[in-house]
A and B are shown apart, each in its own frame.
Chain A
Amino acid sequence: MNSAMFLVAAREFRQIAATRGFWITLLIIPFAFAVGPVAGHLMQKSHTEKVMLIDPSRQAAAAVADRIALDHQREVLQSLSRYSESHDLDRADPKAIWANHDHYYSDYEVKAFVAAGGAKAAGRKMARVAAPDTPPFQEPEADYQIVPTPPVIAHSNPAELDKILPALINPPKKDHGAEPLDYAVYVPADFASGRARVQIWSDGPVPGQLMGVLQDTLTRAMRLRFLEAQGVRPEMADAAQLIAPMIEVNRPSPGKGHEQMIIRSILPLLVSYLLLMSLMLSGSWMLQGTVEERSNKLIEAVLACVSPNQFMYGKLMGTIAVGLTMVAVWVVAAIVAAFATQGMIADFLRPALEPLSHPSVALAMIYYFLAGYLMISMIFLTIGAMSDSFRDAQSYLSPVMLVIVMPYAIVAQAVLRDPNSLGVRIMSWIPIYTPFTMLARLGAGVPMWEVVGCGAALAAFVAVEVVLLGRVFRASLLGADSKPSLARIGQLMRGRGAE
């Protein structure tokens, strides 16, 4: 008679698969994979901020602009160095500055790098030794761009600037196409005397990086003038500005350390998220179906052919099949996307898939996924059996969803910070959160005793849940009283008052 259970499961699957919502949800992820990169490219907004320098003396502006350009090149150099290390390209020119990792590049080194042709020249050298599937180097976007100062602004005093600049920094919406200015900096001619103030106009807080550049550049100019006033020869005063400590940065090579932990956690976190998402969707479809069966009074006819247990397990099987189908389609779409875009995504996927190379981790992930599905689906199924309408179901569903979903965001963040923190470990032992938490943690490595222990606790919880909620389900199927109270649910769980 188990064939009856499969028939119920198949009908459940077909009913859900016949809905538009199922197909929209099923295809939305592959669609996102297909359209995402294009849309991302089209919608990509430059994060480069525009800075206007107003400098009547025409001394400080050039120094600030040079400093901004130098800092950007330092960022390019650091990024290039990381790229070279990641793709084993140091051998292209072992003596190059970018082949010297793990230290803060001095102004001198950055200037030398620029003088040697910058990223373009380095890229040409690297290309000679790079493997064919090595993605090209992406130069980081500059943080700031100096925009030309219109003559009318260049010759205005601060009082006039106060009137002109707000309109440029925060232009009216109707002024389409006008590129708003992010910051305007006014450096008075006698700023070095300390009597006149440097002024900044902005639409919001001024980033520390820009403040640092201004502070540093203008302070240098003031110090230079002070040292010269003290009789220090100009070349000595200038040399004093170059005195800087050598700073060594010790961090793991690319793809190691915290970075490695994050990359390895991405797939399990993604699986955990997929579990949550597909569960919410397929669970709510199943709930709708059960509410329909109850409210349409067709349960009795079905129960004449199928036992309540066969009916319950059949519906659970159908829902799990729907969820797994969705996940399978999404995973296939991700793999296709990875193959289609080889370079970057594949480069990212390789280390991310590493946890799956251990059969025990892969098995644990499958186990937690299925157990999580069963656990939550059972709750949806029982709610459906207790409700005559979706509105009735909603009153049970809302608090349940709050309890299940809310902590997920916290777990995901906590796992990325430290997958073995006390909070995360405690969550792993709370059965209702075990599947999500353990799935999210598995990539970063979880002690075997914990994997087995949490798995056993979860199995015991699911078994007890199926027995207790199964009683509520069976009693509610033909029960005349919809929306039973919590006390009544407790009674039904204890097997009292049924039939």
Chain B
Amino acid sequence: MTALLLDHVTKDFGEKRAVDDLSFAVCDGEVFGFLGGNGAGKTTSLRMVLDIIRPTSGRIEILGRAPGRENSADLGFLPEERGLYRTMTALDTITYFGRLKGMTRNDARAQGKSLLDRFGLGSSANTKIEKLSKGMAQKVQLATAVVNAPRLLILDEPFSGLDPVNQGLLEDEIKRLSREGSTIVFSTHVMQHAERLCDRLLLLADGRKKFEGTQDEARATLPARLTLAARETPVGLPGVASAAEAGNQDGWTLWDVRLEPGGDPGDLLQACTERGFGLRKFEQSRPSLHDVFIHIVGDAEGRA
């Protein structure tokens, strides 16, 4: 079943087109990364999914329904810009958001207590937010998003501003919810998190979809890269696009080799064997998502 579907969605703010003909689908139980640089249209897309703003054109389906507050019981949302009511206690804050999502007071409080215990904040349940440290407040914020055990959890730049401990906590929580069957969509421009968590991902630039697929499919979009140790240059071997000297090892020259698009390293190895091309080292480098992102989206956004 499809948890989230965007079908040719466009959003204009006056003259500016923030999201341009965006289509993608997120299946039930997936962890889906929504990647893009600043201003790529990630937050606008997520706000449309949550019905905070309406698309100019196109169709959105969320858990099989149109966007609206009637979905809030099944949704969790952690916005990029976070804040809490300073004078409310941690537990009251979680209970309040739980109730806004249709939970009963007792259920929301019970679930809130259990989350605070799990996050190591059990003793601060009745402490006002203004008395908590920033890291503690971030945990409370996460608890408000997941208090209703959402079927679909939407996280907008969830790791931004978190300290390493809370980044780990959030990753664990995402994995836990995923194991329990929740679908998770999160936007980020930090590729390491996406690499660790995403089943599938979508790359967005200037409001347009640049790529949608698995991490392997994403990596496959980059030409394969190899490190060879040989006495002679590999240029001229079948499938080799370029080769550059990268040093010397025990009298053998190290070569940084790039294959032509679609080229298979196995084919190159076979060609070397058949031609008697002496090799001391044949090592394939796996491209990172960061490399993929820069390759697909462009240098400018990669730096953002």
Contacts and interface: CB of A to CB of B under 8 A. Distances in A.
Interface of A: 1, 4, 7, 11, 15, 18-19, 292-293, 295-298, 300-307, 310, 478, 497, 499
Contacts of B79: 297, 300-301, 304
A152 B47 CA distance: 93
A301 B69 contact: no
Interface in B80-124: 81-88, 96-97, 99-101
A15 B87 contact: yes
Contacts of B83: 293, 295-298, 301
B144 interface: yes
Contacts of B81: 297, 300
30 contacts: A11-B85, A15-B85, A15-B87, A292-B85, A292-B86, A293-B83, A293-B85, A296-B84, A296-B86, A297-B82, A297-B83, A298-B82, A298-B83, A298-B84, A300-B47, A300-B77, A301-B77, A301-B78, A301-B82, A301-B144, A301-B145, A304-B50, A305-B69, A305-B100, A306-B69, A306-B100, A307-B69, A310-B69, A478-B47, A478-B52
A304 B87 contact: no
Interface in B13-58: 13-14, 47, 50-54
A303 B52 contact: yes
B75 interface: yes
B127 interface: no
B215 interface: no
Counting from the closest, the 6 A-B pairs by CB-CB distance are A296-B83, A297-B81, A305-B100, A298-B83, A300-B79, A297-B83
Contacts, number: 72
A299 to B, nearest CB: 8
B44 to A, nearest CB: 10
Interface of B: 13-14, 47, 50-54, 69-70, 72, 75, 77-79, 81-88, 96-97, 99-101, 141, 144-145
B53 to A, nearest CB: 5
A11 B96 contact: yes
Given A15-B85, A297-B83, A300-B79, 7 more contacts: A7-B99, A292-B86, A298-B83, A300-B77, A301-B77, A304-B72, A310-B69
Contacts of A301: 77-79, 82-83, 97, 141, 144-145
A15 B93 CA distance: 12
B86 to A, nearest CB: 7
Contact of A18 (B72, B77, B87): B87
Instruction: Give the one of B47, B70, B72, B83 with max A CB within 10 A.
Output: B83
B75 A304 contact: yes
B52 A304 contact: yes
Contacts of B88: 11, 15
A18 B129 CA distance: 14
Contacts of A297: 79, 81-83
A350 to B, nearest CB: 44
A316 to B, nearest CB: 17
B71 to A, nearest CB: 10
A295 B83 CA distance: 8
Contacts of A296: 83-86
Instruction: Give the one of A11, A292, A310 with max B CB within 10 A.
Output: A11
Contacts of B78: 301
Contacts of A11: 85, 88, 96
A303 B101 CA distance: 11
Contacts of A304: 50, 52, 72, 75, 77, 79
Contacts of A293: 83, 85
A305 B97 contact: yes
B86 A499 contact: no
B78 to A, nearest CB: 8
Given A303-B52, A306-B100, A478-B52, A499 B13 contact: yes
B50 to A, nearest CB: 5
Given A297-B83, A300-B81, A4 B52 contact: no
A39 to B, nearest CB: 34
B96 A7 contact: yes
A254 B53 CA distance: 66
A302 B54 contact: no
Nearest to A18: B87
Nearest to A4: B100
Nearest to B98: A305
A302 B100 CA distance: 8
Contact of B54 (A4, A295, A499): A499
Contacts of A18: 87
A473 to B, nearest CB: 14
Contacts of B82: 297-298, 301
A300 B52 contact: yes
A477 to B, nearest CB: 9
Nearest to B83: A296
Nearest to B72: A305
B289 to A, nearest CB: 27
Contacts of A7: 96, 99-100
Given A297-B81, A298-B82, A298-B84, A305 B52 contact: no
A310 B100 CA distance: 11
Nearest to A299: B83
Nearest to B80: A300
Given A300-B81, A301-B77, A301-B97, A4 B53 contact: no
B207 to A, nearest CB: 15
B14 A497 contact: yes
Contacts of B85: 11, 15, 292-293, 296, 298
Contacts of A298: 82-85
A4 B84 CA distance: 18
Nearest to A499: B53
Instruction: Give the one of B52, B54, B88, B99 with max A CB within 10 A.
Output: B52
Nearest to B49: A304
Nearest to A478: B52
Nearest to B81: A297
A301 B13 CA distance: 22
Contacts of B47: 300, 478
Nearest to B141: A301
A11 B88 CA distance: 9
A18 B141 CA distance: 22
A310 B52 CA distance: 13
Contacts of A306: 69, 100
A226 to B, nearest CB: 84
Instruction: Give the one of A293, A302, A306, A499 with max B CB within 10 A.
Output: A499
Nearest to A310: B69
A292 to B, nearest CB: 7
A11 to B, nearest CB: 6
B161 to A, nearest CB: 11
Contacts of A15: 85, 87-88
A478 B14 CA distance: 16
A31 B4 CA distance: 59
A293 B87 CA distance: 12
Contacts of B70: 1
B139 to A, nearest CB: 15
A15 B92 CA distance: 12
